[in-house]
């Protein structure tokens, strides 16, 4: 079998030959389809889009991530742009509805509140201890976003004994033993 040729025959506007991609096109230069490798347009543009998981504190892809891990690069990227464009294109002559206004206000408020703040400094991998450091530095951020403590933390009566012992433990957490409910606020307060 012959190896792929990077340049190949490119016919603009024509479909790429599926048999050529499998190294099995018997027509060669006489094929009516294009004999070239498809371009990955996503990888070219994705480095300009910030990784939303990295901005939240942890991206499990690390250096292999196809999105940008540069905090300053295009930090005002709008992940909901497609939804707004879809709403606007479906009803071009109508007044903005509540959903459009909500999405616009939410994006503007979040971007203006977080644009100048460092996001999770020093957080390189996931561990509860590193997460606790970030929570200590940003303990009142949930109030800035309009949440109350009762919406974020559990109360003691909602946690069972096993969950309380896990949250009070200073040792490492074993996968499968991490409680699904959130800890109480005073278990997250650090001195």
Please list the helix, strand and coil fractions of the chain in percent, rounded to the nearest 5, in that order: 40, 5, 55
Domain that holds residue 25: 1-38
Predicted confidence at residue 45, as pLDDT, reads 56
Are residues 87 and 136 part of one domain? no
Are residues 13 and 75 part of one domain? no
Do the domain assignments include residue 150?
yes
CA 119 to chain centre: 14
CA 159 to chain centre: 30
Note the pTM of the prediction, 2 decimals.
Answer: 0.24
Do the domain assignments include residue 136?
yes
From first to last of its 191 residues, the chain has per-residue pLDDT tens of: 344 444 455 555 578 888 888 888 898 888 888 888 776 555 555 667 778 787 777 788 887 888 887 766 555 555 555 555 665 655 555 555 555 566 565 555 555 554 444 445 544 444 555 555 555 555 556 667 777 777 777 777 777 777 777 777 766 666 566 666 676 666 665 44
Classify the phi-psi angles of 101: left when phi > 0, otherwise alpha if psi is within -120 to 50, otherwise beta.
Answer: alpha
Do the domain assignments include residue 28?
yes
Are residues 161 and 107 part of one domain? no
Report how many domains make up the chain.
3
Are residues 27 and 49 part of one domain? no
Predicted confidence at residue 15, as pLDDT, reads 83
Are residues 26 and 47 part of one domain? no
Q: Which of 133, 67, 9 is nearest to 59 (CA)?
A: 67
Are residues 74 and 87 part of one domain? yes
How far is Cα 118 from Cα 120, in angstroms, rounded to an integer? 6
Alpha-carbon separation of residue 162 from 8, 114, 159, 176 (angstroms): 63, 36, 8, 13
Are residues 95 and 46 part of one domain? yes
Predicted confidence at residue 34, as pLDDT, reads 85
Question: Contact at 8 Å (CB) between 106 and 100?
Answer: no
């Amino acid at each position: 079998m012959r190896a792929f040729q990077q340049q190949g025959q490119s016919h603009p506007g024509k479909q790429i030959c599926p048999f050529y991609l499998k190294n099995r096109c018997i027509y060669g230069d006489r094929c009516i389809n294009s004999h070239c490798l498809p371009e990955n347009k996503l990888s070219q543009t994705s480095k300009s889009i910030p990784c939303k998981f990295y901005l939240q504190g942890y991206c499990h892809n690390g250096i292999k991530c196809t999105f940008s891990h540069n905090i300053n690069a295009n930090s005002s990227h709008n992940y909901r742009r497609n939804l707004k464009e879809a709403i606007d294109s479906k009803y071009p002559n109508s007044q903005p509805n509540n959903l459009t206004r909500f999405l616009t206000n939410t994006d503007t408020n979040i971007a203006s509140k977080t644009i100048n703040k460092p996001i999770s400094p020093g957080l390189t991998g996931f561990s509860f201890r590193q997460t606790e450091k970030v929570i200590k530095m940003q303990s009142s951020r949930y109030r800035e976003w309009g949440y109350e403590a009762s919406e974020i933390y559990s109360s003691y009566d909602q946690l069972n004994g096993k969950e309380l012992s896990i949250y009070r433990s200073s040792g490492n957490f074993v996968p499968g033993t991490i409680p699904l409910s959130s800890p109480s606020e005073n278990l997250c307060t650090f001195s």
